[in-house]
Structure 1
């Protein structure tokens, strides 16, 4: 009787070894982003007669464009429910509304949100490429989407984007990636 090179015992040993290797590699990659944070500061302007405060969504996407973490969703909810939330086109298409990150609309100004490198479930994310997304939509006003690719590793960085030349309420976005302090 000829024995197969894959016995039950061999299969179990190889499978367990493979799974342990995957888990060990995943743990190392996750540990590399631990202790780092990404601050996203954005400013939007507006005002005037009949000015409606914009709906705002800020979130992080992975390199494939899939949502990783929603940092904030600011919208107005009336008796009819969250009206015009679907005007945040990219965020609405890919995410679910989460009460822990949602809140009322804000007046024009400068705001800062921080991402601690974890996904919506609290799992640490590995180093790599991510997209920072800031989306604004305003009733009787413009729609604007800021989406910028960043590489998150161990080296800190700071970037500023002046958007005042574009048509919309979003005037500036700055990113600061550094150790949590």
Structure 2
């Protein structure tokens, strides 16, 4: 499947490359996230009542301070004989990622509560520096709504715990950062 880079994606990537080259040494010397810390992302998918329900496509990932994807934690979608035809409805995730990460992709999930963990590493397995990151949860359902949860966190050596109620079919997002237990 041939993919084209969107204008937004090109600008983000070019800006990220320029910042990396410009700040290079200071970023390389920035302190890494402490070993043994993890970020737990808990959320609930709620089904609306009254009609036949199709589970949503969901992508969960971490972005750096510039908005560039660092690590995809989960990608839930339905692969049919026609391919992953609704995957492009995950607009932000699909615009930044050109290939399917087989290790985290899987089938859609029914309504329920789910928890994913991030160990502070990027897609290449490198521990990232302390600083600002975005937690992104994107959800799209065939004949249903589109939702994007994107929250900025500053991660370092201090634990944190935040909760967000949610308004649509994505409810009860909780972000907990601390020592692995």
Normalization by structure 1: what TM-score? Answer: 0.81
Q: Give the corresponding residue for 1:154.
A: 157
Normalization by structure 2: what TM-score? Answer: 0.81
How far did 1:150 drift? 0.2
Runs of 4+ in 1 over 3 A off after TM superposition: 25-28
Unpaired segments ≥5 residues, structure 1 = 1-21
Q: Give the corresponding residue for 2:41.
A: 40
Q: Encode CA deviations 1:67-92: one digit per residue, 9 max, x unaligned.
A: 00000000000011111000000000
How far did 1:28 drift? 6.5
How far did 1:49 drift? 2.2
Alignment length (residue pairs):
155
Name the CA distance, whole Å, in 1 between partners of 2:30 and 2:149.
31
Unpaired segments ≥5 residues, structure 2 = 1-24
How far did 1:41 drift? 0.1
Within 5 Å, give how 1:39-58 maps onto structure 2: 39-46=40-47, 47-58=49-60
Q: Which has the larger radius of gyration?
A: 1
Name the CA distance, whole Å, in 2 between partners of 1:89 and 1:150.
22
Q: Is the 8 A contact 2:30 2:130 kept in 1?
A: no
Q: Is the 8 A contact 2:45 2:170 kept in 1?
A: yes
Name the CA distance, whole Å, in 2 between partners of 1:48 and 1:135.
24
Q: Encode CA deviations 1:29-59: one digit per residue, 9 max, x unaligned.
A: 22x4322100000001005422110000000
Name the CA distance, whole Å, in 2 between partners of 1:61 and 1:116.
14
Name the CA distance, whole Å, in 1 between partners of 2:141 and 2:30.
43
Aligned with 1:101 (options 95, 104, 123) = 104
Q: Give the corresponding residue for 1:120.
A: 123
Q: Is the 8 A contact 1:74 1:104 kept in 2?
A: yes
What RMSD in Å do the two structures reach over aligned CA positions?
1.6
Name the CA distance, whole Å, in 2 between partners of 1:27 and 1:41.
32
Name the CA distance, whole Å, in 2 between partners of 1:48 and 1:35.
45
